[in-house]
Structure 1
Amino acid sequence: MSPPRALGRLQFHAGFTLDDAVGVVGYYARMGVSHLYASPILRARAGSTHGYDVVDCHEVNPEIGGEDALRRLVAALRAHGMGLIIDIVPNHMGVGSENAWWMDVLRHGRESRYAGYFDIDWLAPDPLVKGRVLLPVLGAGYDSVLREGHLRLGKRRGEWVLRLYDDYLPLSPASVATLADDAERSHDPKTDRGRARLHALIEKQHYRLAFWKLASDMVNYRRFFDINELAGLRIERTAVFEDTHRTIFRLYAEGLIDGVRCDHVDGLADPRRYCRQLRHRLERLRMQRPEGAARDAAYLVVEKILAEDESLRLDWRTDGTTGYEFMDQVSAVLHDERGEAPLTELWRRLTGDGADFATQAVKARRQILVDSFEAELARTARALFAAARADVATRDVSLAAIRRVLIELLVHFPVYRTYAGGAGRDAFDESVFARAVEGALRTLRGEDADLLYLVSRWLGGEAPRALPPGSVRRARERAMAVFQQATSPVAAKAVEDTAGYRYGRLLSRNEVGVDAARMAIPMAAFHDRCAERLATFPHTLLATATHDHKRGEDLRARLAVLSEVAERWVITVERWRVRHADLRQRAEGRMAPSAADEVMLYQMLVGAWPIGLAPDDEDGIERFATRIAAWQRKALREAKRWTRWTSPNEPYEDACEDFLRAVLSGDAAAEFHAFAEYIATPGAANGLAQSVLRLTTPGVPDLYQGTEYWDFSLVDPDNRRPVDFLARSASLERDVSPVDLLCTWRDGALKQAVLQRLLCARKTHPELFARGTYRPLEATGPAADKILAFVREHRGQKLVVAVGRHLAPWLGGMSAPAIPAEHWEGTSLALPPGKWTSLLDIGKRDGGELPAAGLFGDLTVAAWLSAR
């Protein structure tokens, strides 16, 4: 049962528990999925909707049913011959009163047995923070919160605590040892004397309370990105590794789980060491697993964003990544590069912004460093400064100069992170630094150039192990580790959560793990990536939808059609801009929405327009408008131009929402509906193409919950809405041929039927899909460029797959994603010799030259299996 054939991802929370999942096991088994793929299952903060804020590593989350429910789910899975992969969070934990480890640190400070579990800088230079933990938890300034009585002394379970709003903080044993029984009255913040006493007591604690907006400037624990409630772990310490993974290892040894997906591996000090250590521990436990549980190697993938020319390191001993690079590749091959020039020109002309995506990303990095990561920047600069001071040859280097150099390196860093260790940088990381240094030299003042080269050398250009043991080596190793942990969150916040919401040339290319600067790739490049994947990570995950995606997989597929009909889109947008000019408002000194925000809104309206929504359906339009409004407000804040999360510009946001609702009223809604209808069928063809490629190219397909039907979801929380499994199960039970579902394609059953047939083929022929060779096939004829095809082969059995692409000229405005045979006239594909059966129920064929109309039947995708 290992490696998995296909995963079905489920998001667990109080509204969808492990027992709820028991009820859908049979459905996923009929679909052909081999393993369920669970969001984090360990105890998270109360009410968590995602599970990434784990507060107790030793317990299965009671909100989703606890361990008893987990055992019931696994029993149901085993009864169907299925397994379970779970998401784990090694980088960080949720902090607060629910986390006993964190509370012990706050109570005992550096003397806590868990002080070394969290990545806390106890030596921060601020004397008010040094030796303490900065807690940015106050809703206003400290004095104001104190005077208003939101901080007060109280008792909880017989112990003195500090009450903060509706929560509490522990007090150090020494500070409360002499408190009298009437201490609550004598420390009453409503009186001057009581307030002074309470302040004096607070000052004795192992933490310093601060206004939450000061976090980015002052926080002295490593966070997950810029989220104050998620504190980084020192997972590189063996004791921490073992304690945080204790339950995971037990569940694996007991046969309850079959593998793990490691969240945010780039946040760790040493991802390579962690992955190898995790693999080693799982291997040692493998033979302890009970009868009935898979004894094959545990499945192990890591969440990792790879640059276009970057590959996951083979020596990490993982099975691959969670599939963002495939999401990029399959999207790019379905876009039409001919649309790039007109769409770029439209964007530049309407917005007045000539900056390309790379320039936007650099600008965003520079802003993010100041807005969100000042504390992390200072921490990294101090680590480099310590490396300078450790060596007498560089003791005169100033902290200010190091900071200047560091900023330019981070601003121009071309990947999420590097992985230098004791041996220094490898060849790829060396090329990364060369590009970063080249970029930094363009913006750095000339006097700092020599220091830039020096800092680059400290950060792995010179192998630390080549240095003699001592303070210089230790300081270099520390600086290198801190720097490498800093680059990833800066990249993620700047690229995914800022530039991706600013640059709106074509939003289908603004996605996690995607370089929005590149609109399309040729078929040859896609084939090369597939062959490379088979040779290196044949069991890596292939994803087109995740819990983190910005736009649903079929929304992106529909928007990709705009690259094919760019001229028509340009004219349409220009007309809408003129037509809706009177609906814009002046808010806070600027017009709302801005041209950029308006152009992106139009894309989302036609891309996400629900199938079947009529423009005169007032209730349906209202529901759609509410969803888009939530996306819009989040997008505006993430862009950080006119508003942001830390200081919302509500007049601008409200004006943008007013504009949205105005353009969706009356006749304007009919125009959006008409354009959405025009691109709907070629968009559906794209959706089917990317689904088929995900299930047939080398790798393990990941089926995100609910996406068996068309997925026009928006960014979270919209993409985590409840799934109607009853409807999906009912349509699956009807077992209708994909061809016969063409006339009712809008309900999603067509997509589900295609997925189910290919997933079941994977089940019947696992070795062909898992190990089969990959060879591109070239069609011939006038429409050859519209066919992407390949053959997989294993021990004489073959699978030929073909998908249509760039079909808007044929399908635009059509009632169904079915291509009239005359469009394929003169185009064919040679099937290898043998007897062939369609996996999509369109008949049987002999090998040889096959006309494209016969290859596809009435569909836009094809999969043919040969007899042995």
Structure 2
Amino acid sequence: MVYIPSSTYRLQISPEFKLEHARRILPYLKELGISTVYAAPFFSAKSGSAHGYDVTNPHQINPEAGTLQEFQELAKEVQELGMGWLQDIVPNHMAFSPENEWLMDVLEKGPQSEFYTFFDIDFNHPDFKGKVMVPFLGEPLEKVLEQEQLKLQFTNKGFCISYFDSNYPLNLAGYETLLNQVAAKAETEAAGAALKAKLHHLQMVTESDIIDGEGWKKAIAELHQTLHLHKELQTALKQVLQSINSDQNKLKELLEQQYFILCYWQDTEKQMGYRRFFTVNELICLAMERKDSFDKYHRLIKQLCDEKLVQGLRVDHVDGLYDPDTYLQRLRELAGEEVYLIVEKILEGEENLPDYWPIQGNSGYDYLAWVSNLLTAQDGEEKLTNVYQNLVPDAAPDYEDLVFEKKRYILEHHMRGELQNLLRLLQTSNLMPQEQPEEQVREALTVLLAAFPVYRIYGSSFPLPEGALPVVDKAFAEARRRAPQSEAALMHLRSLFEANEHEDEERKKQKLYFVMRTQQFTGPLAAKGVEDTTFYNYNRLIALNEVGNSPAIFSLSREEFHERMKYKLETYPHSLNATATHDTKRGEDARTRLFTLSEIPDEWEKQAAQWMEIAEKNAREVKITRNDLYFLFQTLLGVMPMDGNVDDTLIQRLEEFLPKALREAKANSNWTEPNEKYEDALKGLTKQLLQKDEAFMASFKPFFKRVAHYGWLSSLTQTLLKLTCPGVPDVYQGCEFWDYSLVDPDNRRPVDYELRQQYLQEIRQQEKNDPQQLHQQLLQNPADARVKLYLLSKTLHLRRQMQELFSKGNYLPLTVIGSKENHAMAFARHYQGQWCLVVVPGLLASLVKEDELPLGEQVWGDTSIELPADLPQQWQHAFSQEEVKAEQNKLSLSTLLKTFPVALLTAES
């Protein structure tokens, strides 16, 4: 039977938070009610990596975070506590770094490396002629050589080209050249002969098709020892090194012999010799479609599953893989039927996960979008759109047009190399239309990729799976609308997505390869064009600019939300329910604050206009655009601590965040050519407004207080829904307190677990004495976040007690009637005689004042929930432990929400 978590808790394992730290908080997580630790990648990564996605060796646990033995002991403790472990794995890419010994083996040995086909490197690329592109020079190679920044060195690992802290290994041809020169300079024949013997030994080691890695290392070690023992050889070596390092032509000639080409990092915006993660040069992708690559990479992962050290795996960026279908089948076979498997997957709009994948679901971005849209007022869409256009006249009027524009911008300015590689693939596969010029086909391919409505389609054979072709047709229809002049070329490209029965097998194979290759780039293009560009430009309501969500879907009605929950229950009932992740743009509770703006657009317009006027008066030499100001004001509303206190830490966090936001937007600054003057101006303005401008703070604080009040109440709704809707609730580290974080790395700040443990124990003790008095204390002091911690822990424990109900129970929407029926939502879960009933409030700004709570009869009056006849009439309140009885098949909200803003009831039939 597959392991299904009752809940997960995401931990960022890193050099700052080691396995030992995770072990220490296990009792706290158990007391909190968590069933499963959900860990970020903990395999060897680049030194100091805070996130673990830049893996350098998947065969060992990161020494900076712990050891395999430590994890084995930790896993034993986890299981003794009745808990499980869900491990994040990264099969799409590894670090492009000298610390990646597998990749350096390719640079050193070329086709004779056992890892030659392991990485997704285009050895047929005409610009690199069978060599590996190494794009990490700060300037073009000629300038780097002129400035003598490259050095030939000899270390205990052999000869290498050194560029600051990076060393790139020389191949055997380089050894032959250099060692013969050293031998020639040796003062005695014996020393020269000894060195030539070592060279001969190296040549013998490399005689086989695949060089024995251990034999090579041993030969290099012996060579190093020989050079170290003979002083005259050391002197000769220094002379040779100095001779080459002082002569640009000699160094260049040596570089031309290597299996790699050093080049300027910005060259990757025009040409690409390997597949990278998104547009990150430092992450090189893997050829995971190869069975030998799969087996090699997953060796430790298989051990973790075989030894039952982990109960689940989360697959990072499944969309980057050439063949996700086959990969997931192999992973299921490797992991076994009992292991919980989920994938990280962005779903667009009405898109659903392929129903044939052998997995339990995804990592929860779709749920994050649904609950966000539920909490956004439908009536606010048109009003907020008008407010945005009124205050920011040059803002993009149409979101979808902006998405297309930015995706095209990314293709033309940052992924031109990837585009050219796809175009060349058409040529080498004889799939290029004969009658159209190359430029027309390039334009058609550009428009098609930018018009793709989802991250990618799936399928590893023709015909493509059901559901894929409608997406393809939608993409081509949009492409034809955008570029009618490319009709002929687009029609040809469309023909490649299906096989013709009259075509030979070779052509079908080439067409399928092209289709699957394009799908490895539509995802990165969407991520960079939408998440990392459009989301920082379209600022109507930035809380919707979130991973997995989209401003294109402003809100969901209660009925639409219910339909999605029922669909989830039918398809992937054990997907995660996430509200915060390491990828989210802002904290889960910052978003609920901003959703309030959709309820009070008129007040927001008045305040934002006033703040813009104040900000523009503060402008010095550099004028900040209105779009950036509009973004800033929403950011401040989201990030401000509930007490409104502005300290140096908050200023520092904003100063780190704002340049990143500006560079992602690529409007007034960018990563390639940062406009530091503009960035500094925005940082200076922010500090001025928060710490020195009394007029701004006098206007800002009252409005902030109002938004913050409704925000934390909405957060309770968001929390309870996450914990009780179909799916497995995930708690991101530290989010048992209010989460007002900004995008990574702000959301990876250290978590004070001692304080959380202290608060949890205090709550437990107070609850034993008087639950209702505890409710009053929690609600009177929301700033300390104990109210969220209480709700989370109470519901998590109930989930564990009623795990089958929440894992397998059906989902029944319930009808709310009465004068405040539009301000509440209710549903029930039911499984084999067990019941729970959930009630949450909404649209709070028009329900209660900013100093009131949505409690009791004075708020809810005659509002009640209609119970179908087959539902129990006797219920127990999970928070107050009071018995609640229905009257005439109705439950009064005045009773259910008497002491706490959300309600969770249980019953048995």
Tell me the TM-score range normalised by the shorter chain. Answer: over 0.9
1:803 Cα deviation after fit:
0.5
Partner of 2:226: none
Which of the numbers 851, 859, 866 marks the counterpart of 2:900?
859
1:184 Cα deviation after fit:
4.8
Partner of 2:607: 572
Which of the numbers 413, 420, 437 marks the counterpart of 1:371?
413
Describe how 1:656-667 pairs up with structure 2 within 5 A.
656-664=682-690, 665-667=692-694
Partner of 1:111: 112
SS in 1 for 2:872: strand
1:445 Cα deviation after fit:
5.0
Partner of 1:292: none
SS in 2 for 1:55: strand
1:75 Cα deviation after fit:
2.0
Letter in 2 for 1:752: L
Gaps of 5+ in 2: 183-235
Whether the 8 Å contact between 1:811 and 1:819 is mirrored in structure 2 is no
SS in 2 for 1:210: strand
Give, in whole Å, the separation in 2 of the partners of 1:298 and 1:312: 19
Partner of 1:708: 736
Which of the numbers 547, 565, 574 marks the counterpart of 1:530?
565
Partner of 2:61: 60
Letter in 1 for 2:862: G
Gaps of 5+ in 1: 287-296, 615-619
Partner of 1:756: 793
SS in 2 for 1:117: coil
Residue by residue over 1:573-616, the C-alpha shift from the partner in whole angstroms, topping out at 9 and shown as x without a partner, is 111122332112343xxx2x2000001111111122101234xx
Describe how 1:233-312 pairs up with structure 2 within 5 A.
233-283=286-336, 297-312=338-353
Letter in 2 for 1:844: E
1:820 Cα deviation after fit:
5.0
Whether the 8 Å contact between 2:377 and 2:843 is mirrored in structure 1 is yes
Partner of 2:26: 25
Q: Per the alignment, do residues 310 and 158 of structure 1 end up closer, same or farther by CA in structure 2, a change over 3 Å counting?
A: closer
Whether the 8 Å contact between 1:382 and 1:399 is mirrored in structure 2 is no
Give, in whole Å, the separation in 2 of the partners of 1:824 and 1:710: 27
Give, in whole Å, the separation in 1 of the partners of 2:572 and 2:804: 15
Partner of 1:228: 281
Partner of 1:289: none
Residue by residue over 1:18-40, the C-alpha shift from the partner in whole angstroms, topping out at 9 and shown as x without a partner, is 01001110111111111100000
Describe how 1:171-210 pairs up with structure 2 within 5 A.
171-179=170-178, 180-181=181-182, 182=236, 184-188=238-242, 194-210=247-263
Describe how 1:389-400 pairs up with structure 2 within 5 A.
389=430, 394-400=433-439
Whether the 8 Å contact between 1:304 and 1:321 is mirrored in structure 2 is yes
Whether the 8 Å contact between 2:152 and 2:244 is mirrored in structure 1 is no
Give, in whole Å, the separation in 1 of the partners of 2:297 and 2:369: 33
Give, in whole Å, the separation in 1 of the partners of 2:372 and 2:502: 45
Partner of 1:69: 70
Question: For structure 1, which segment, 306-315 or 850-859, has the greater mean C-alpha deviation from structure 2 after superposition?
Answer: 850-859
Q: Per the alignment, do residues 73 and 859 of structure 1 end up closer, same or farther by CA in structure 2, a change over 3 Å counting?
A: same
Partner of 1:681: 709
Partner of 1:556: 591
Which of the numbers 836, 851, 869 marks the counterpart of 1:799?
836
Letter in 1 for 2:570: A
1:143 Cα deviation after fit:
1.6
Question: For structure 1, which segment, 524-533 or 568-577, has the greater mean C-alpha deviation from structure 2 after superposition?
Answer: 568-577
Partner of 2:397: 355
1:420 Cα deviation after fit:
3.4
Describe how 1:83-94 pairs up with structure 2 within 5 A.
83-94=84-95
Give, in whole Å, the separation in 2 of the partners of 1:493 and 1:185: 49
1:725 Cα deviation after fit:
0.4
Q: Per the alignment, do residues 32 and 702 of structure 1 end up closer, same or farther by CA in structure 2, a change over 3 Å counting?
A: same
Report whether the alignment pairs 1:144 with 2:108: no
Which of the numbers 443, 462, 469 marks the counterpart of 1:404?
443
Residue by residue over 1:801-829, the C-alpha shift from the partner in whole angstroms, topping out at 9 and shown as x without a partner, is 010011112344216x4435312111111
1:474 Cα deviation after fit:
3.0
Give, in whole Å, the separation in 1 of the partners of 2:115 and 2:849: 61
Give, in whole Å, the separation in 1 of the partners of 2:245 and 2:51: 43
Whether the 8 Å contact between 1:739 and 1:842 is mirrored in structure 2 is no
Whether the 8 Å contact between 1:385 and 1:398 is mirrored in structure 2 is no
Give, in whole Å, the separation in 2 of the partners of 1:858 and 1:818: 9
Report whether the alignment pairs 1:768 with 2:805: yes
Which of the numbers 472, 491, 494 marks the counterpart of 1:453?
491
Give, in whole Å, the separation in 1 of the partners of 2:370 and 2:99: 42
Give, in whole Å, the separation in 1 of the partners of 2:431 and 2:674: 44
Partner of 1:413: 452
Report whether the alignment pairs 1:332 with 2:353: no
Superposition TM-score, scaled by structure 1 size? 0.94
Give, in whole Å, the separation in 2 of the partners of 1:732 and 1:419: 46
Partner of 1:598: 629
Which of the numbers 749, 752, 759 marks the counterpart of 1:721?
749
Letter in 1 for 2:518: F
Residue by residue over 1:205-258, the C-alpha shift from the partner in whole angstroms, topping out at 9 and shown as x without a partner, is 111111111122122100000111110101110000011001001011011111
Give, in whole Å, the separation in 2 of the partners of 1:390 and 1:431: 23
SS in 2 for 1:229: strand
Residue by residue over 1:268-299, the C-alpha shift from the partner in whole angstroms, topping out at 9 and shown as x without a partner, is 0011111111112222xx6xxxxxxxxxx210
SS in 2 for 1:178: helix
Give, in whole Å, the separation in 2 of the partners of 1:682 and 1:424: 51
1:354 Cα deviation after fit:
4.3
Report whether the alignment pairs 1:636 with 2:673: no
Would you say how many aligned residue pairs link Structure 1 and Structure 2?
836
Letter in 2 for 1:499: T
Report whether the alignment pairs 1:698 with 2:726: yes
Partner of 2:475: 436
Question: For structure 1, which segment, 319-328 or 172-181, has the greater mean C-alpha deviation from structure 2 after superposition?
Answer: 172-181
Give, in whole Å, the separation in 2 of the partners of 1:404 and 1:531: 42
Residue by residue over 1:78-97, the C-alpha shift from the partner in whole angstroms, topping out at 9 and shown as x without a partner, is 12111101000000001221
Letter in 1 for 2:444: V
Partner of 2:499: 462
Letter in 2 for 1:715: V
Question: For structure 1, which segment, 249-258 or 603-612, has the greater mean C-alpha deviation from structure 2 after superposition?
Answer: 603-612
SS in 1 for 2:873: strand
Question: For structure 1, which segment, 825-834 or 341-350, has the greater mean C-alpha deviation from structure 2 after superposition?
Answer: 825-834
Give, in whole Å, the separation in 1 of the partners of 2:701 and 2:24: 37
Give, in whole Å, the separation in 1 of the partners of 2:751 and 2:320: 32
Residue by residue over 1:702-738, the C-alpha shift from the partner in whole angstroms, topping out at 9 and shown as x without a partner, is 1110000111111011101000000111111121446
1:191 Cα deviation after fit:
7.3
Whether the 8 Å contact between 1:2 and 1:298 is mirrored in structure 2 is yes
1:385 Cα deviation after fit:
2.6
Whether the 8 Å contact between 1:22 and 1:72 is mirrored in structure 2 is no
Question: Percent of pairs identical after alignment?
Answer: 35
1:516 Cα deviation after fit:
1.0
Report whether the alignment pairs 1:822 with 2:858: yes
SS in 1 for 2:168: strand
Give, in whole Å, the separation in 1 of the partners of 2:258 and 2:873: 78
Superposition TM-score, scaled by structure 2 size? 0.90
Whether the 8 Å contact between 1:681 and 1:811 is mirrored in structure 2 is no
Letter in 2 for 1:622: D
Q: CA RMSD in A?
A: 1.7
Partner of 1:217: 270
Q: Per the alignment, do residues 581 and 395 of structure 1 end up closer, same or farther by CA in structure 2, a change over 3 Å counting?
A: closer
Give, in whole Å, the separation in 1 of the partners of 2:66 and 2:530: 37
SS in 1 for 2:836: strand
Give, in whole Å, the separation in 2 of the partners of 1:584 and 1:176: 61
Partner of 1:381: 423
Whether the 8 Å contact between 1:224 and 1:230 is mirrored in structure 2 is yes
Partner of 2:576: 541
Give, in whole Å, the separation in 2 of the partners of 1:149 and 1:69: 45
Give, in whole Å, the separation in 2 of the partners of 1:117 and 1:581: 55
Letter in 2 for 1:660: T
Q: Which has the larger radius of gyration?
A: 2
1:11 Cα deviation after fit:
0.2
Whether the 8 Å contact between 1:187 and 1:198 is mirrored in structure 2 is no
SS in 2 for 1:419: coil
SS in 1 for 2:153: strand
